[in-house]
Amino acid sequence: ADVKPALVYGTGGKFDKSFNEAAYNGAEKFKAETGIAYRDFEPTGDTQGEQAIRNFASRGFNPVVAVSFAWTSAIEKVAAEFPDTKFIIVDSVVDKPNVRSVVYKEEEGSFLVGVLAGMASKSGKVGFVGGMDIPLIRKFECGYEQGARSVKADIEVFQNMTGTTGAAWNDPVRGGELAKNQIDQGADVIYAAAGATGLGVLQTAADNKKFSIGVDSNQNHLHPGSVLTSMVKRVDLAVYNAYTDTKNDKFTGGVQALGVKEDGVGAAIDDNNKPLITPEMQAAVDKAKADIIAGTIKVHDYTTDNSCPK
């Protein structure tokens, strides 16, 4: 079918080395494979998302992918205005027939990196720096904590959130400061789930010769030797699938929940971090993955009851 793909990023910019860049990579992959060009837009503030989505829809772009929960209400509105256009929202659920909602089981991926963190930590203290203090980010933290605890029952997990507004995604200075605080308190592995703020966390960990864990995209290459692993969230898949499905007339609305089983989330291991991962760690993470897929490990999802088991 005719496909005229469009992509609206979350605030933070296309090349954030993280969430948005993953979406960008998905679109690029589609372009490389099909030769079909796409249009994208980088809102730099919360007010612009809706207008961009509407602009795309009204110019006949189809499908329109909006990555970030920030565009939830925008998609709700615009999808109603353009019932014939297909919309994809990532990280949030919009209940409309022409909207596909792609959400991830971040707790599962976080569990895996938690396992690695628990094993890599010598001090028995690990840290977590979140972006905006929302249930979604708590979900990352909670999975991570469960994973770390599964390998070291008495591990101590420090956690900090960068802020309570959208600015928290883009504040590497504070991110670094929070990481430094955690390091000063003894943490030797810090997981950042904070968009661009995480860059500051990774930087600080590298500066202080500690381990860090990246998020969303594979960030292992940012500070080789310091980034222990990355909790990749395959936003690229969401984008890529949205485009190919539409092209092949296979678009379906509804919710897609991608977990470890669907390869939607996972712990990235590549040449950059190979030397950091011992065979035992590799084995442990493989086992955890298998257990999650098999259902023998059930990772608690924070958002179901807004609490994390201790």
For another protein, the binding residues (CB under 8 A) are 11-16, 20, 40-48, 51-52, 54-55, 58, 69-70, 72-73, 77-78, 81, 92, 133-136, 159-161, 164-167, 170-174, 176-178, 180-181, 184-186, 196, 199-200, 203, 207, 222, 303, 306
In the complex, minimum distance from the CB of residue 160 to another protein, in angstroms, rounded to a whole number:
6
Q: What whole-number distance in Å separates Cα of residue 255 and Cα of residue 252?
A: 9
In the complex, minimum distance from the CB of residue 55 to another protein, in angstroms, rounded to a whole number:
6
Q: How far is CA 54 from each of CA 24, 83, 90, 220, rounded to the nearest angstrom? A: 20, 12, 17, 36
- Maximum Cα–Cα distance across the chain: 57
The residue among 56 and 240 lying less far from another protein, judged by its C-beta, is 56
Q: How far is CA 158 from each of CA 99, 179, 185, rounded to the nearest angstrom? A: 38, 10, 9
Collect all residues with Cβ–Cβ distance below 8 Å to 310 and sequence separation of at least 6: none
The residue among 74 and 116 lying less far from another protein, judged by its C-beta, is 74
In the complex, minimum distance from the CB of residue 181 to another protein, in angstroms, rounded to a whole number:
6
In the complex, minimum distance from the CB of residue 294 to another protein, in angstroms, rounded to a whole number:
30
The residue among 203 and 218 lying less far from another protein, judged by its C-beta, is 203
Amino acid identity of residue 14, one-letter, is K
The residue among 184 and 271 lying less far from another protein, judged by its C-beta, is 184
Q: What whole-number distance in Å separates Cα of residue 83 and Cα of residue 87?
A: 9
In the complex, minimum distance from the CB of residue 110 to another protein, in angstroms, rounded to a whole number:
17
> DSSP state, 16?
-
Residue found by looking up tokens 């008495």 in the block: 154
CA 228, 232, 235: angle at the middle one, nearest 5? 160
Structure tokens at 81: 């205005």
The residue among 50 and 245 lying less far from another protein, judged by its C-beta, is 50
In the complex, minimum distance from the CB of residue 292 to another protein, in angstroms, rounded to a whole number:
24
The residue among 48 and 244 lying less far from another protein, judged by its C-beta, is 48
